[in-house]
Amino acid sequence: MTELYKLSISEAGALLRQRKISAVELTQAHLDRIREVEPKVKAFTLVTDELALQQAREADKRFASGENLHPLTGIPLAIKDVICTKDITTTAGSRMLENFKPPFDATVMERLNATGFVMVGKTNMDEFAMGSSTEHSAFFPTHNPWDLERAPGGSSGGSAAAVAAGMAMGSYGSDTGGSIRQPGSLCNLVGLKPTYGRVSRFGLIAFASSLDQIGPFARNARDAAILLQAIAGHDRRDGTSSPEPVQDYEAALSGSIKGLRIGVPEEYWVEGTQPGVVSAVKENIERLRELGAEISPVSLPHTKYGVAAYYIIAPAEASSNLSRYDGVKYGYSYRDTSDMWEAMEKTREYGFGPEVKRRIMLGTYALSAGYYDAYYKRAEKIRTLIKQDFDKAFEKFDALVSPASPTVAFKIGEISDPYQMYLQDVFTIPANLAGICGVSIPGGFNDNLPVGLQLLGNVFKEDTILRIADAFEQVTDYHSRWPNL
Ligand code: GLN
């Protein structure tokens, strides 16, 4: 047998059910892999090895009794450190929450725990999910398993690197403007952002509440379908969660995309995209055509305002969400003064990193009485126009296809200008503004670095984009390649 850590979730699940391997063996293989490569990759803020082995033993009991089995029972997964785990440190990549142990589980964690999965650890991220490289983590940067000098993307870079390096069979991240799809793209993974409202945000530490969604990273479309299935569905504790019935995502993987209408947004061929990315994506589009999809161009005319609108709306919401970190309720607290205002000021001065402060200032400014109409209100209007572009496109198309990121993985330290970093999300941001779903899938290599292909689907059409991803995997082998670590 190949190394256990190289199995897919569905393969491992079959072996577990046939009792050819045990959950403890499978978990141990991943903990061994963590010991071997984590010192180089630094994907985790916390490795929960004892808990993992305990959960694996419980999973093995379930297999022995044959009861309550779920496709994720006994499967080792990693969780982005922005998802609250009861009594287990949840830092959001920030000094502010360095020692925070949530008194409750996020809904996503409750659902995962019910499956009997195995948690191997919490993963590193840009502070409060603000960034595209994981360099804004308050603790340390994460390294891309495909080239350790490079960033894995972000903000969910730890979750992506953990799966790409074989330290977890799958993982969860959060995507506010691209934080699952862009690291998915840079690490050769399937990274899916569900439709807004598909997955509960209860217990997800908030960045920008009207944009945030939790979603999976996997090494193939089937695994992504299994991982999404486990967390999707209505939750009465999240007022924005949708009562729309959840599809059977694995059943949707028919292998055929014959007759599917796929649009290629003209506005997504922008200057600054690396030529190697453009050529890989064009080649991929031809593959989709050969598979029987009907490909034609489509126009999304307001695309060019997406990044600008996002960098008003997301910071505005963040400035409000982050006001709760005042040193009083929980988290870091500056105590060297008896003056309340000074305590709050210093708590925020020392607790937040530079990118978070930049966003709070931007957002506060955009929401201030004198500028609200000029910035925030205008950005919201643009958001509506972007949503209408997609509504119109989806009248004619089942899905849209584009690059996921304008570049392959860049060197750690290479992008120092915040604006250049913001442009990493030029292709992913519009989907968050419109609330639609999107996935980045392995789409080839440029100079031995992965290129991601983005598939966008209408609201609640995760089944369609996963079906395309799965069909694409049948005729390509990009997704099955491993980095040399
Ligand atoms: N890179 C974008 C930002 O910094 C998106 C981050 C995310 O999706 N969480 O805001």
What is the pairing mode between strands 170-175 and 76-80?
Answer: parallel
Question: pLDDT tens digit string along 408-435?
Answer: 999 999 999 999 999 999 999 999 999 9
Asked if residue 207 has its Cβ within 6 Å of ligand 1, the reply is yes
Domain total for the chain? 1
Chain centroid, CA 313 distance in Å: 19
Q: What angle do CA 231, 233, 234 make, to 5 degrees?
A: 130
Question: pLDDT tens digit string along 166-196?
Answer: 999 999 999 999 999 999 999 999 999 999 9
d(CA 310, CA 177) in angstroms, rounded, equals 8
**Residue 173 domain-assigned?**
yes
d(CA 210, CA 196) in angstroms, rounded, equals 8
Chain centroid, CA 124 distance in Å: 12
The first and second tokens of residue 187, run together, are: 């690490």
Q: Cβ(459)–Cβ(189) under 8 Å?
A: no
Rounded to whole angstroms, what are the CA distances from 462 to 192, 252, 277?
A: 9, 9, 24
Q: Which residues span the domain enclosing 225?
A: 4-260+398-480
Helical H segments across 187-274, by residue range:
221-231
Residues in CB range of 349: below 8 A, 6 or more apart: 334
Among 463, 420, 471, residue whose Cα is nearest residue 441: 471
Whole-number CA gyration radius for the chain? 21
Q: Is the pLDDT of residue 150 over 80?
A: yes
Q: Among 73-77, 105-109, 344-348, 419-423, which is the least confidently predicted range?
A: 419-423
pTM above 0.95, yes or no: yes
Q: Cβ(390)–Cβ(436) under 8 Å?
A: yes
d(CA 342, CA 134) in angstroms, rounded, equals 31
Asked if residue 205 has its Cβ within 6 Å of ligand 1, the reply is no
**Residue 211 domain-assigned?**
yes
For residue 176, report the distance from its CA to the centre of ligand 1, in Å: 5
Asked if residue 175 has its Cβ within 6 Å of ligand 1, the reply is yes
Q: Is the pLDDT of residue 112 over 70?
A: yes
Asked if residue 129 has its Cβ within 6 Å of ligand 1, the reply is yes
Asked if residue 195 has its Cβ within 6 Å of ligand 1, the reply is no
Q: Cβ–Cβ contacts within 10 Å for residue 297, how many?
A: 9
What's the pLDDT at 23?
A: 98
Instruction: Show which residues are catalytic.
Output: 80, 155, 179
Q: Is the pLDDT of residue 111 over 60?
A: yes
Asked if residue 135 has its Cβ within 6 Å of ligand 1, the reply is no
d(CA 142, CA 407) in angstroms, rounded, equals 18
d(CA 98, CA 101) in angstroms, rounded, equals 9
d(CA 141, CA 121) in angstroms, rounded, equals 17
Residues in CB range of 286: below 8 A, 6 or more apart: none
Stretch 47-71: mean pLDDT, rounded?
94
What's the pLDDT at 67?
A: 78
**Residue 455 domain-assigned?**
yes
* Arithmetic mean of pLDDT over the chain: 97
d(CA 316, CA 321) in angstroms, rounded, equals 9
**Count of residues in the chain:** 485
Among 270, 252, 206, 245, residue whose Cα is nearest residue 399: 252
Q: Give φ, ψ of 382 to 5 degrees.
A: -60, -40
* Sequence letter at residue 55: Q
Stretch 217-226: mean pLDDT, rounded?
98
Instruction: State which of 81, 123, 132 you would mutate to test the pocket of ligand 1, scoring each by most atoms of that ligand within 8 A of its C-beta.
Output: 132
Please report which helix (H) or strand (E) contains residue 400, including its range: strand 399-403
What's the pLDDT at 446?
A: 96
Rounded to whole angstroms, what are the CA distances from 428 to 87, 117, 378?
A: 34, 30, 20
Grade residue 1 by pLDDT with cuts at 50, 70 and 90: low
**Residue 286 domain-assigned?**
no
Chain centroid, CA 335 distance in Å: 36
Question: Looking at residue 108, which CATH number applies to its domain?
Answer: 3.90.1300.10
d(CA 360, CA 353) in angstroms, rounded, equals 11
What's the pLDDT at 66?
A: 82
**Residue 111 domain-assigned?**
yes
For residue 281, report the distance from its CA to the centre of ligand 1, in Å: 23
Among 168, 393, 395, 217, residue whose Cα is nearest residue 303: 393
The beta strands (E) that lie in 206-260 are given as: 213-218
Stretch 434-463: mean pLDDT, rounded?
98
Q: Is the pLDDT of residue 81 over 90?
A: yes
Q: What angle do CA 81, 143, 119 make, to 5 degrees?
A: 35
**Residue 19 domain-assigned?**
yes
Stretch 45-66: mean pLDDT, rounded?
96
Stretch 390-400: mean pLDDT, rounded?
98
Please give the number of the atom of ligand 1 that sits closest to the Cα of 429: 5
For residue 311, report the distance from its CA to the centre of ligand 1, in Å: 9
**Residue 237 domain-assigned?**
yes
**Residue 433 domain-assigned?**
yes
